[in-house]
Amino acid sequence: MKLMVSGIGGVGGYVAAVLCSHYAEVTLIARKKRRDSLREKGLVVHSQLLGEQVFHPAVTDTPAEAGIQDMIFICTKNYSLPAALAAVQPCVGPETLVVPIMNGIDHYETARSLLQGGIVVNALVYIAANYRPDYSIDHNCNYARIIVAAPQAEAAARVVSVLNHEGEINCYIADDMKSELWHKFIVNCGYNTITAYYGCTTRGLLEPPARLKEFQTLLDEAYAVAIADGAKLPDDLTARIYDRFLNRRGLDLSSSMARDFAAHRPSELETFSGVLVRKAHALGVAVPLTERFYEGLKEREAHI
């Protein structure tokens, strides 16, 4: 089986490591310094589940050279999805499964609209992972969960058969993918947005106390849009998310978007707040605090 991974950051690096543990033909797509590091040192992983590991898969910045693949995992940020799909297009045959594993709620539709041929399988991931300055992968949690769905049940089942490995990744087919996507999207629209806006960790939400109220409001606004969009979510969802972040997670944790803003890198602002604001307008839902934070972050991003 020929497998390919595009986007060797925290998520893609961990997915690639699990694949390398079980399959011989794994190709990573990387460029410039990351490509050079992977070729010289291998894919280095520090993981609570996998332990300390080094893998040496094929690494290329020219995907076409790898030929047609059985399965391609796209683990880039959402704003890089069109370019990533264009790069792997020569590797997509009629039966190739293309699996975008990323944040947001619209990556499946984007992939379907841009990809020529192949079969797209929707996916979302729950994991805490990032890459170090030396491009090694930190998987700093005791879980990795990937949920998939596709109109063709057999296609989703094939992805599960490749990804699901006990003690490494728990992969399963969603009963209701729309609601699963919205559940995580609400988290991202609340937590990523507010930590990026204030440039803080979870601890930074505790003082001044007004930030906690804003965090709850951001969650509630995203929830209102989700319900208007037809997602079936429990009434107490935002209260449970709020409790989880304030009482059950480390206070010194932050978000990927906050780290991107702090490092003056492109962020997923449009993936989260931008998409939410546009959906809210289309559905006639008021999201005033989300709009204020979105406009403030957009102005800041314009000067990065």
Q: How confident is the model over 165-185, as a mean pLDDT?
A: 97
> Fold match between 2-174 and 178-302?
no
pLDDT band at 250 (very low <50, low <70, confident <90, very high): confident
Q: What is the mean pLDDT of the chain?
A: 96
pLDDT at 254: 86
Residues 6+ apart with CB under 8 A from 265: 304
DSSP designation for 127: -
Question: Does residue 16 have a pLDDT over 90?
Answer: yes
User: Stretch 173-179: mean pLDDT, rounded?
Assistant: 97
| Cα 178 to chain centroid, rounded | 16
Tokens of 100: 């975008």
Judge whether residue 277 has pLDDT over 90: yes
Q: Mean pLDDT lowest for which of 12-26, 194-208, 240-254, 287-301? A: 240-254
In this prediction, residue 248 carries a pLDDT of: 76
- Which stretches of 168-236 are DSSP H helices? 177-187, 193-198, 210-228
Mean pLDDT of the region 6-10: 97
| pLDDT tens, residue by residue, 107-164 | 999 999 999 999 999 999 999 899 999 999 999 889 999 999 999 999 999 999 999 9
Mean local confidence (pLDDT), 273-293: 98
Note the pLDDT tens digit of each residue in 32-63: 999 999 999 999 999 999 999 999 999 999 99
**Token pair for 93:** 């045959």
Domain ranges within the chain, ordered by starting residue: 2-174, 178-302
pLDDT at 208 over 90: no
Q: Which of 221, 272, 225, 224 is nearest to 106 (CA)?
A: 272
pLDDT digits (tens, 9 = 90+) for 56-85: 999 999 999 999 999 999 999 999 999 999
Q: What is the pLDDT of residue 168?
A: 98
Q: Which CATH number fits domain 178-302: 1.20.120.160, 3.40.50.170, 1.20.140.150, 1.10.1040.10?
A: 1.10.1040.10
Q: How confident is the model at residue 251 (pLDDT cuts 50, 70, 90)?
A: confident
Residue closest to 78 by CA, chosen among 23, 32, 9: 9
Strand (E) or helix (H) holding 17: helix 10-22
Check residue 171 and give its pLDDT.
Answer: 98
For domain 2-174, say whether CATH 1.25.10.10 is its number: no
